[in-house]
Each structure stands twice: as C-alpha cells, then as structure tokens.
Structure 1
Amino acid sequence: MKRTTEPEAAAARLWQEHLAARFPAALRGAELAGTDMVLLDADIAGCVSVWLNTGGALDTKRLETLSDRIKDLDQVLPLLTEPGGLRYYQRLHQLAQCVSAVNPEPTK
C-alpha cells in the first residue's frame, strides 16, 4: 500500500476545499496581467484532476502547463483586492505548488 506524503495529503485537502468553493463572481470574464482568470482556474483544476486520477502522475505537457500557471498566479495574486477572490486563488496557488512538488518528474 502506498503511503501518502504530506504534500499529497495537503493537495487532497486543498482540492476538496477548491471543489466546495464558489468561483468569485467578480472575476468571471476578468483578465489580470494578461491572464484570463477563468482559464487560469480551469487549467490548474484540469492538471490536478488528472494528477489525482492517475495516482499522482502528470505528463510533460501538464507539468509545463502547471509550471506556467504557477508563474501566472505569481503575477496575478498581488493584483487581487477582493478577499474572496484572493482566498480562492491563494488556495489554487497552494494546490498547484503541492502537485508540482509531488510530481517533479513527468510521465510519458
């Protein structure tokens, strides 16, 4: 039986919180620092979903997407002023970092 690491447990907890959260209404259709906020959310959620459904593995393309989207989050987080939107994207940032840390090597 595979033992769950701390980052994996954190990612699973953050994912459940993310699924339960409502997307911030003020950010629907918004673009910050050249980043579509809905697409940013969707791209990361897609990578996390695949990671969870493959037992903690991502292919090269998804790892690159995740890395790029973490960089985008680094740019947009300082621009978020509404507390709900900030919390939403801070959690998404933590989630993306957890998954990235657990899966540093891509699958084929």
Structure 2
Amino acid sequence: MASLGPDIAAMWQAHRDRWFPPLLRGAEVGDIDVMLLDADTAGCVSTWLGKGGRLSPETSRILATCVEDLDTVLGVFTDGEERYYLQQLRIMAAAVLAKTET
C-alpha cells in the first residue's frame, strides 16, 4: 500500500482550511469551470485519503485531467491569492497521483 504520509494529509487539511478566492467564483478558462475543477480535484483527493492511497482507474484518470486543467488555469491566473490557491491544489493533486496505487 502507498504510504499516505503526513505531507498529503497536511496539504488536504490546509486546503480545507483555505478560503476559495472570490475572483475564482464563476471563473472559466476556455471550457474549464474553476469551481468545478476545484471540487473534482478535492473529491479525488478525499477519495484517495479515504481509500488508503488507492483510486480506481477512472478516478485516477479524472485526477490526471484535473492536473492538466490546473496547468491550463494557472497560465491565466499569474499572481495573487488565486494563483497561490490553484498552485497548492495542483501540488496536492500531483502528489496524490504520484503515490496512487490502482
């Protein structure tokens, strides 16, 4: 089994404690709804934590798409709290992908 480690658990707690930046509410980049992207990513991370470091192949694909979409969105939000929020979300999502056992 993958080691969940305190790093991802701590990232998850920090994410849950962080306010969603107001400028991201209703924001869309191309066909990416930023609030939905946040929710999808958070759902995958929560599932991973709840399943002891495992995701189904489908959920792994969803999370991989979230990381790609976060890269796209980060190209638009280049500073401020919005960028920080999105960067932290992407770091956490990529860390989960790196440790995922399917």
Q: TM-score with structure 2 length normalisation?
A: 0.91
2:2–2:53 contact (8 Å) kept in structure 1: no
Gaps spanning 5+ residues in structure 1: where?
Answer: none
Q: Distance in 1 between matches of 2:2 and 2:62?
A: 27
Pick from 32, 37, 41: which aligns with 1:35? 32
Q: TM-score with structure 1 length normalisation?
A: 0.87
Gaps spanning 5+ residues in structure 2: where?
Answer: none
Pick from 10, 21, 34: which aligns with 2:7? 10
Identity of aligned residues (%): 40
Cα shift at 1:66 = 0.3
Q: Distance in 2 between matches of 1:88 and 1:50?
A: 20
Cα shift at 1:61 = 1.0
Equivalenced residues, count: 102
C-alpha RMSD of the superposition: 1.7
The one-character-per-residue Cα deviations of 1:31-74 (angstroms, maximum 9, x if unpaired) are 01321000000000000001111111100111000001101111
- Runs ≥4 in structure 1, deviation > 3 angstroms? 2-5
- Find the structure with the greater CA-based Rg: 1
